[in-house]
Amino acid sequence: MSQRYVTLTATKTSRVALLVFLAGIIALAIAPHLVPRSLLQDFILVFLLIAMAQCWNLLAGYAGLISVGQQAFVGLGGYGLFAAIVSFGMDPLLAVLLSALCVAVISIPVGFVVFRMQGAYFAVVTWVVAEVFRLLLAQWKALGGGTGTSLPRSATSDMFGLNWAAEVFGVRSAAAREIVIYWAALAVMVVVIAVVYRLLRSRLGLALSAIRDSEMAAESVGVDIGRAKFAAYVFAAFGTALAGALYFLDSARISPDSAFSVLDWTAYVIFIVVIGGIGTIEGPVLGAIIFVVLQSTLSSFGPWYLIVLGVLGIAVMLLAPKGIWGTFSAATGIHLFPTRRRLGAAVPREPDPEA
């Protein structure tokens, strides 16, 4: 008896999810019209954290590369942005993109160094590299050295899209600036999710999930593990820098300590992925929303807040290592963004629940 098999990468729920996702993006795009300005800042933060978390997740959840030095790329993205604006008077949005591209280029030689180490050692080396960049940029006197610098208001006064946003929403330029950054952050999040999702469903994705399951298995099917990991690393650097640059465009102030903060850009991001569900697209989205809600309600408790985050993160790692989404997904079988290829029978389609 012979049966034909097909690999399934889509589910019925996932097609519905795609429509909901698109509708959600449209709703978010017109949100500045509906939600108060104070909430807009939270949205921007959620978008950027989701983008960073997807990048970290791509590394840890799929490529088996655990980095605790992603703050290197946030910081470089931010400083690249400031350099482009302050030194060359470039349009801020263009500078964000250019800065992220430069960071991606820088990540290639950096990757060459950090890939000399494996496993847990890789993690610590990424941290050392981030420290090196922090110490180097603290010596860049034109950008304020160790104390940092602010963007002049004039730098964003004729930003691309500003007048249009001001007209459409009938707001003054300060609010319009925020709306443009909001849109850009939304776009960054959508692009990063889309690329990570596409990447995971492509041949490269197959390679990465093969790595996750077993390096030997991946090698035996002829997947070039080294190249797949490196590609994931460079893209993660790009995406992280993109989000980082936008963050510092929004805050308009940068310093080496804030730009290369291991707490802000790695600990929080790891918390988001772990809580939400490592190795899924949905997890980091969920995690980022939870994180920003927690932060806006609890951060006034200072150190206690961080202790609670640490305890929560450890508890999830030990008791429910799949995180909220992973646990939910395993219990219900619902995958909105199915990234794992599943082997299914071509005919008949309906699985027999009693079998």
**In the complex, which residues of this chain contact other proteins (CB under 8 A)?**
60, 64, 66, 68, 113, 116-117, 119-121, 123-125, 127-129, 131-132, 135-136, 138-139, 262-263, 267, 270, 274, 278, 302-304, 306-307, 309-311, 313-314, 317-318, 321
Shortest distance, CB of residue 310 to other proteins, whole angstroms? 4
The residue type at 90:
M
CA 88, CA 77: separation in Å to the nearest integer? 16
Nearer to other proteins, 38 or 147 (CB): 147
Shortest distance, CB of residue 323 to other proteins, whole angstroms? 12
CA 290, CA 44: separation in Å to the nearest integer? 14
Contacts for 204 with CB less than 8 Å, ≥ 6 apart:
228, 231, 232
Q: Is the peptide bond before 348 cis (omega within 30 degrees of 0)?
A: yes
Beta bridge partners of 254: 149
**What are the strands, taking DSSP E only, across the chain?**
5-8, 149-150, 253-254, 342-345
Nearer to other proteins, 89 or 321 (CB): 321
Nearer to other proteins, 119 or 351 (CB): 119
CA 329, CA 280: separation in Å to the nearest integer? 10
Shortest distance, CB of residue 116 to other proteins, whole angstroms? 4
Shortest distance, CB of residue 70 to other proteins, whole angstroms? 13
CA 50, CA 56: separation in Å to the nearest integer? 10
Nearer to other proteins, 273 or 292 (CB): 273
CA 77, CA 99: separation in Å to the nearest integer? 6
Structure tokens at 258: 């804030």
Nearer to other proteins, 47 or 122 (CB): 122
Shortest distance, CB of residue 74 to other proteins, whole angstroms? 16
Shortest distance, CB of residue 274 to other proteins, whole angstroms? 6
Q: What angle do CA 134, 138, 144 make, to 5 degrees?
A: 135
Per DSSP, the three-state class of 7 is strand
Phi and psi at 327, nearest 5°, equal: -65, -45
Helices 303-319 and 282-298, axial angle in degrees (round to 10): 150
The residue type at 145:
G
Nearer to other proteins, 32 or 75 (CB): 75
Shortest distance, CB of residue 270 to other proteins, whole angstroms? 6
Helix, strand, coil share (%) of the chain residues, nearest 5: 75, 5, 20
Per DSSP, the three-state class of 178 is helix
Nearer to other proteins, 225 or 262 (CB): 262
Nearer to other proteins, 174 or 263 (CB): 263
Shortest distance, CB of residue 307 to other proteins, whole angstroms? 5
